[in-house]
Amino acid sequence: MRLLILILLPALSLLLQSTLFGFYSIYGVIPDVVLIFVVVFALLHNYKQATIYGFFCGLLEDLYVGNMIGMNALAKGLTAYIISSLQVQVFKENIIVSVLGVLLGTIFNTALIIIIMLTVNKPLVFNVDFLWKSGFQIMYNMVLSIPAYIFYYNSTRTGWLENKGND
Partner 1 sequence: MLKIILNKWLVFVCLIVILSIIGVAFTASQNTNNVLVRTVRYVYMPVQSGIDAVRNNWLNIYDFFGNKKLLNQRIAEMEKELDQVKMANNSLNEYRHEAQRLQTLLDFKDSNIDVYDLVAARVIARSPNNWTNSLTISKGSQDGIAENMTVITPDGLVGRVNAVFSQSAEISLITDNEVAVGAIFAENRDTTGIVEGTGQDNGLRMVNIPYYAKINENETVLTSGLSSIYPKGIVIGTIRSVETENKGLLLNTVVIPAVDFNHLEEVLVIINYHPPDGS
Supply the minimum distance, in Å, between the C-beta of residue 2 and partner 1. Answer: 21
Q: How many CA atoms lie within 13 A of 8 on its CB side?
A: 7
Instruction: Give the bridge partners for 29, in sequence order.
Output: 26
Chain residues binding partner 1 by CB under 8 A are: 14-15, 17-20, 22-23, 25, 27-30, 32, 48, 51, 55, 60-74, 77, 113, 116-117, 120-125, 129-130, 133, 137
Amino acid letter, 12: L
Nearer to partner 1 by Cβ, of 85 and 94: the residue is 85
Are 68 and 99 in contact by the 8 Å Cβ rule? The answer is no
Supply the minimum distance, in Å, between the C-beta of residue 136 and partner 1. Answer: 10
- Residue 23, Cβ neighbours under 10 Å: how many? 8
What is residue 146's three-state secondary structure? helix
Supply the minimum distance, in Å, between the C-beta of residue 91 and partner 1. Answer: 27
CA-CA distance, 3 to 9, in Å (whole number)? 10
Supply the minimum distance, in Å, between the C-beta of residue 146 and partner 1. Answer: 21
Nearer to partner 1 by Cβ, of 66 and 165: the residue is 66
- C-alpha gyration radius of the chain: 15
Nearer to partner 1 by Cβ, of 24 and 91: the residue is 24
Nearer to partner 1 by Cβ, of 46 and 94: the residue is 46
Nearer to partner 1 by Cβ, of 18 and 155: the residue is 18
- Give the sign of the dihedral formed by CA 78, CA 38, CA 92, CA 107: positive
Supply the minimum distance, in Å, between the C-beta of residue 116 and partner 1. Answer: 6
